[in-house]
Chain A
Amino acid sequence: MTRIMAATNAAGLTLMYAALAGAQSPAAGGGVGASSLSVLAGVAQNERRDLTASPLAFAGRGIDLTVNYARAIGSFTLDAAVQGGARRLASSDADPSSSERLTEGQLHVALLRRIDGAAASAPGFSVGLALDGSGAFTAHDYGHAGRPISNFVLGSAAIGPAASWKQRIAGGAATIALAAPAVAVVAHSYSVINRPTMGAELRFVTPGLWRGAGGTVTYAPADDRATGLVYRYRFSLLRYDDVQPVRAVTQSVSVGFTMRFGARRS
């Protein structure tokens, strides 16, 4: 997992540099703005091991909601998504009486540019920068008689390279988007937070400590359709090498409705 994430980060940084260098020259093609708004609902699968709460891994499913706005201007695409959900997790390592309730949310904003300078809406490869903010609130029940449920938080804001690849498939368009954090500010509770004045301290962390990757695979109607159904697979991987490390994997499959505004053809 470490190697995959490190490779993703390094490749992404190189591509990001190339894209920004490319942005110095005039963009070819496109030039007309087009926007889309999508609302998706689905099922997410979480698997996580947060040693702040437990040495055990916990896994479970729950709802996942996403609102996604994308705008193409010339060869640039601004992609913003808010997503969140709640899941009930049980231990996947052993069978203790403990369980977790996880509530998490994420804000993702990416600015991408076509590497060939073509219109953003056309099939092809884009790179750029992504800003990700995320928060996870875990209510851990140790199943210990007489003790309250213990709450933990993990919040982060990260910036790093992003890339996407778009291809026309079966009358629609499939887009694969990836992002990886390069630097992050992290708030990870050292211990339970439902104590008097106990909170999480903010830490600035580098890729050596905070490694991750996230992405989506989206299948949407062709660009000349004003509305239609959209399908999305989303994943995120996290490895935070804190004193009490965290590893988390989230995957979701969603379906929703998309509406397009403005120019729709490249």
Chain B
Amino acid sequence: MRSLRAFAAALLLCAGCGGALLGPAPSDNYAALFDDVWRQFDLHYAQFDLRRVNWDSVGARYRPQALAARSDAELAAVLGRMLGELRDVHVSLTPFGPGSTIRYVARFDTAATNFSADVVFERYVVLSAFTNERHLQYGWATPTIGYIRIPSFSGAAWDGDADVALEALKGAESIIVDVRNNPGGNYTVAKSVAGRFADDSRTFGYLKLRNGPSRGDFTGYLPERVSPDGPRQFRGRVFVLANRRTVSAAENFVLAMRALPSVTVVGDTTAGASGGPIVRELPNGWTFQLSEWVEFDAERRTFEGVGLAPDVAVRATALDAKRRTDAVLERALGMAR
């Protein structure tokens, strides 16, 4: 029995030694933090070539500034400036928790779109309602034309809300789906909502994902497909409204929808910001985000920084906004009637 006790004591001692085998905790001095950020981008960022950025020289330029930083705030500012060199809205640094995110502000971020959802629901759409968690707002533009507004694709697994809206709009001959000023969000949700309008499985674009440590390490062209999704699909005519502030996952949605034969895209060119962002973290708890893919349309042309052009171009003006009219919606309604 004595040897059994000794055996149990030895096991308890072993149980405490696991952490030592993982090696020392990573350093969180400014040099180490800078090097970690730079290295993570080096390993994962997908758009150096696309954006013509020499990451080595960027690192060499900013590293001395990071080492000279006298506070966390100064270091965050240096890192923010370095990441800004990529001119990519999917690249960001969040040093001090919610509300502290530093990211590049693109031209489309401040573009005047002259769009107001209030005007839509005050002047054009009646009997409007929200789905349960307000992911979608829908109603009737005319007795035969339904309207669905998707303000954002943020959140997960709410694509079923589209079924609720489509059920409420049962009997519509046409539906207008409005993703203007939609900043994006969840790619999977966007694709799944597009599936509510799909008649068949169709390739709508391609992705190349960074998959190795060399900056040229990418997968081949990986097809993106939109397929019928949900309990039933709407088979009438569909008009998708987009503008300069239709961004990221919302652009994936436009890209998927325009592959469908029943869909016409109306409005302005989208932002041109895909990217497939992933999140990383630093030893001091700061997080950052970077783009890990390059997306292409069905003809294998990248639209990063360019945007997706509409089928029917209509640009809302400041006068429209002043008069509280919606020229883009009016054009879609005219085509749907």
A residues lining the B interface (CB < 8 Å): 1, 45, 47-49, 54-57, 59, 92-98, 142-148, 150, 169-170, 174, 190-192, 195-198, 201, 217, 219, 233, 235, 237, 243-244, 247-251, 253
Contacts and interface: CB of A to CB of B under 8 A. Distances in A.
B7 A244 contact: no
A142 B277 CA distance: 13
Contacts of A243: 43, 212-213
Nearest to A57: B22
Interface of B is mostly: mixed
A251 B287 CA distance: 30
A138 to B, nearest CB: 14
Interface residues of B, number: 50
B224 interface: yes
Contacts of A57: 19, 22, 25
B269 to A, nearest CB: 24
Contact of A198 (B3, B21, B25, B209): B209
Interface in B80-111: 94, 97-98
Interface stretch (B56-64, B118-126, B278-286, B308-316): B278-286
B282 A55 contact: yes
Interface stretch (B10-18, B66-74, B317-325): B10-18
A59 B211 CA distance: 28
B283 to A, nearest CB: 5
A174 B7 contact: yes
B149 interface: no
Given A49-B23, A94-B285, A191-B278, 9 more contacts: A55-B36, A59-B18, A96-B284, A98-B285, A98-B287, A191-B210, A217-B7, A235-B14, A247-B21
Nearest to B252: A196
Nearest to B211: A190
Interface of B: 1, 3-4, 7, 11, 14-15, 18-19, 21-23, 25-26, 28, 36, 43-44, 94, 97-98, 154, 156, 185-188, 207, 209-213, 219, 222, 224, 276-285, 287, 289, 292-293
Contacts of B36: 55
Contacts of A146: 154, 185
A56 B287 CA distance: 12
B23 A247 contact: yes
Given A1-B21, A195-B209, A169 B285 contact: no
B133 to A, nearest CB: 14
Contacts of B224: 196
B285 A96 contact: yes
A235 B1 CA distance: 24
B98 A145 contact: yes
A7 to B, nearest CB: 15
A232 B91 CA distance: 48
Contacts of A191: 44, 209-211, 278, 292
A154 B3 CA distance: 39
A250 B187 CA distance: 35
A170 B2 CA distance: 9
Contact of A142 (B1, B18, B281, B283): B281
24 contacts: A47-B18, A47-B19, A47-B21, A55-B36, A56-B281, A57-B22, A94-B25, A96-B285, A98-B285, A145-B98, A148-B156, A169-B7, A170-B1, A174-B7, A190-B212, A191-B278, A195-B278, A195-B292, A195-B293, A219-B4, A243-B212, A243-B213, A247-B22, A249-B22
